[in-house]
């Protein structure tokens, strides 16, 4: 049996949950039996955590696969996929583990299912170390849909660290193939808007303070645009537990979207949270790329599967992106090149073009 497993080293590069997400999704799509070793080997708590486990179990269920070694703390799993099926699938991290990361692993797979899917994802919607659900809806969704598919994201309940308790329902139909994308023309910033929220026991003043501090910070660099950040009190029936945070989006004349976001933590004042999000957005606007640093790595798997050449212009290429490229090349045999941008306007900036010859994955069920 051992001869036909594809071996993945879970300890290299990003060395964490992302390797698991990319490799198991590609294994599921391509029908490759997979062995992942040294899972999160370098982390303070090595091996699988609850959120990784729920992602793996979801992928197993999506394709009636065989999964072995999948328990908390395990550093090695094997996975043998079967045919991807649509229908309703549930994944529950039972913690504040990110629903957005569960979506990252499952979405490419269900695009190539036999029928439409409904993914019920439970956990944290606005969690640390992961995209916030607002980012997924406001930035990831409109951009990833350029590959030629659509999805619906219904936020049933928001959930925060440490309790989780959020729930999101993703509905989507399969496609025959994915179109390649070209995101290289950034255009000029035309709008800046956002959402500053409090949930649970936190006073509404916190949302207003985060928004005001963010606006002041952006004003210093962007003087000619109205910055519209709505303070929001999440309603009790749509938010579980206590939390606060902010997301700010910049939209350009060519439809590019960039974001900065931040979450409140105990002992961090509201102004600080707002300023952190604003500074993140401004940093993403300085590098001259057409996607922000968080979108980079999320697009790689779709570029690898698409039918044709995709190109995206980015700022500095993140470790997550390098990791996604490495495994897309190893497992899907897609071809990527990363070059410094040769465009005139980028000469003084740290700007790159990631190009990919996709494998033209075709859905056999359609």
pLDDT in tens, 339-350: 999 998 888 899
**37 marked as binding residue:** no
pLDDT at 45 over 60: yes
CA distance 72 to 200: 31
Sheet holding 77-80, edge to edge: 6-9, 34-37, 77-80, 66-68
Residue whose C-alpha is closest to residue 226's, from 215, 238, 214? 215
183-208 pLDDT, tens digit per residue, is: 999 999 999 999 999 999 999 999 99
Q: Which two tokens stand for residue 109?
A: 């797979």
Which residue shows structure tokens 């779709």?
302
**67 marked as binding residue:** no
Across the range 112-129, mean pLDDT stands at 96
Across the range 223-251, mean pLDDT stands at 97
Element (H, E) at 191: strand 189-199
202-212 pLDDT, tens digit per residue, is: 999 999 999 99
Across the range 107-119, mean pLDDT stands at 98
Across the range 250-259, mean pLDDT stands at 98
Across the range 118-125, mean pLDDT stands at 98
12-30 pLDDT, tens digit per residue, is: 999 999 999 999 999 999 9
Q: How far is CA 321 from CA 158, 258, 267, 292, in A?
A: 28, 17, 32, 12
Q: How many CA atoms lie within 13 A of 140 on its CB side?
A: 25
Q: Specify the pLDDT at position 1.
A: 43
Q: Does the active-site annotation cover 320?
A: yes
**34 marked as binding residue:** no
Across the range 84-88, mean pLDDT stands at 96
**319 marked as binding residue:** no
266-323 pLDDT, tens digit per residue, is: 999 999 999 999 999 999 999 999 999 999 999 999 999 999 999 999 999 999 999 9
Across the range 325-331, mean pLDDT stands at 98
Q: Where in the sequence of the chain do the CATH 3.65.10.20 domains occur?
A: 6-183+291-359
User: Pick the catalytic residue: 89, 287, 320, 326?
Assistant: 320
Q: In CATH, which of 3.50.50.100, 3.40.50.10320, 3.65.10.20, 2.70.150.10 is domain 6-183+291-359? A: 3.65.10.20
- Percent of the chain scoring above 90 in pLDDT: 96
Q: Specify the pLDDT at position 346.
A: 87
CA distance 109 to 59: 8
Supply the mean pLDDT for the chain.
96
Q: How many CA atoms lie within 13 A of 172 on its CB side?
A: 25
pLDDT at 256 over 90: yes
Q: Which residues contact 223 (CB under 8 A, 6 or more apart)?
A: none
CA distance 97 to 167: 11
Give the distance, in angstroms, between the CA of residue 222 and the centroid of all CA atoms in the same chain: 27
Q: Specify the pLDDT at position 3.
A: 52
Q: Specify the pLDDT at position 4.
A: 84
The domain at 189-287 falls in which architecture?
Answer: 2-Layer Sandwich (3.30)
User: Do residues 35 and 81 make contact, with C-beta atoms less than 8 angstroms apart?
Assistant: no
């Amino acid at each position: 049996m051992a001869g036909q497993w594809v071996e993945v080293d879970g300890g290299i590069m990003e060395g964490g949950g992302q390797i698991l997400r990319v490799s198991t999704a590609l294994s599921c799509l391509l029908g490759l039996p997979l062995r992942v070793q040294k899972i999160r080997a370098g982390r303070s708590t090595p091996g699988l955590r609850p959120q990784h486990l729920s992602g793996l179990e979801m992928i197993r269920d999506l394709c009636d696969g065989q999964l072995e070694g999948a328990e908390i703390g395990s550093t090695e799993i094997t996975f043998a996929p079967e045919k991807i099926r649509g229908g309703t699938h549930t994944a529950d991290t039972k913690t504040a583990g990110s629903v957005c990361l569960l979506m990252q692993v499952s979405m490419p797979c269900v695009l190539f299912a036999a029928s439409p899917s409904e993914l019920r994802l439970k956990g944290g919607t606005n969690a640390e170390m992961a995209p916030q659900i607002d980012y997924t809806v406001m930035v990831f969704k409109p951009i990833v849909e350029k590959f030629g598919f659509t999805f619906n994201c219904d936020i049933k309940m928001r959930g925060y660290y440490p309790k989780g308790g959020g729930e999101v329902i993703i509905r989507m139909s399969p496609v025959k193939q994915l179109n390649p994308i070209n995101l290289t023309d950034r255009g000029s910033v035309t709008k800046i808007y956002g959402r500053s929220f409090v949930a649970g026991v936190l006073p509404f003043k916190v949302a207003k303070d985060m928004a005001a501090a963010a606006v002041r910070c952006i004003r210093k660099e962007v003087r000619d645009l109205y910055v519209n950040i709505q303070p929001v009190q999440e309603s009790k029936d749509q938010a579980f537990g206590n939390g606060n945070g902010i997301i700010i989006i910049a939209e350009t004349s060519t439809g590019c979207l960039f974001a900065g976001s931040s979450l409140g933590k105990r002992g961090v004042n509201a102004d600080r949270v707002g300023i952190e999000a604003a500074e993140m957005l401004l940093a993403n606007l300085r590098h001259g790329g057409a996607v922000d640093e968080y979108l980079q790595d999320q697009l790689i798997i779709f570029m690898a599967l698409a039918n044709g050449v995709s190109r995206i212009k980015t700022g500095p290429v993140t470790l997550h992106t390098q990791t996604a490229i490495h495994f897309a090349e190893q497992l899907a045999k897609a071809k990527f090149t990363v070059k410094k941008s040769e465009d005139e306007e980028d000469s003084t900036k740290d700007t790159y073009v990631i190009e990919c010859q996709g494998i033209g994955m075709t859905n056999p069920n359609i």
